[in-house]
Amino acid sequence: MNIEDFYNYCLSKPEVTEDFPFDKDTLVFKVRGKMFALTSLKKWEEGDYSVNLKCDPDYALELRAQFDAVQPGYHMHKKHWNTVSFNQDAPDRLVLDLIDHSYELVAKANKKK
């Protein structure tokens, strides 16, 4: 999976916006104004293909035990966020499922009123 695939997949979801709220490097995808995925563009350019995704805490522990590509979230709350590396031992389908999981967690917690 490359950054274009990741970018397009995130933007294909309902009510998703992209933003650079922290700096010009950190691309953040939000649903209804809340983050569900973020990545460093500089790291992608350097060959570090990874993304931070929100995750159910119990599921996060399971994933970390099963895949080297899933680590506690870099610069994030480690209980609720994973850093997922692309093109390692986690299949692309799983990475897409984890993007979906993150999106759904955030969207559900931030329902329209």
For residue 58, being part of any structural domain is answered with yes
For residue 40, being part of any structural domain is answered with yes
For residue 112, being part of any structural domain is answered with no
Residue 105's pLDDT is: 96
Residue 113's pLDDT is: 52
Residue-wise pLDDT tens digits, 52-108: 999 999 999 999 999 999 999 887 878 899 999 999 999 999 999 999 999 999 999
Domain that holds residue 96: 3-107
CATH assignment of the domain containing 53: 3.90.1150.30
Distances (CA, A) of 11 to 57, 67, 98: 25, 26, 15
Distances (CA, A) of 100 to 6, 13, 25, 54, 78: 12, 9, 23, 10, 19
For residue 100, being part of any structural domain is answered with yes
Strands (E) in the chain, as ranges, are 16-19, 26-31, 34-40, 50-54, 70-72, 81-85
Residue-wise pLDDT tens digits, 2-50: 899 999 999 999 999 999 999 999 999 999 999 999 999 999 999 999 9
Residue 85's pLDDT is: 94
Q: How many domains does the chain have?
A: 1
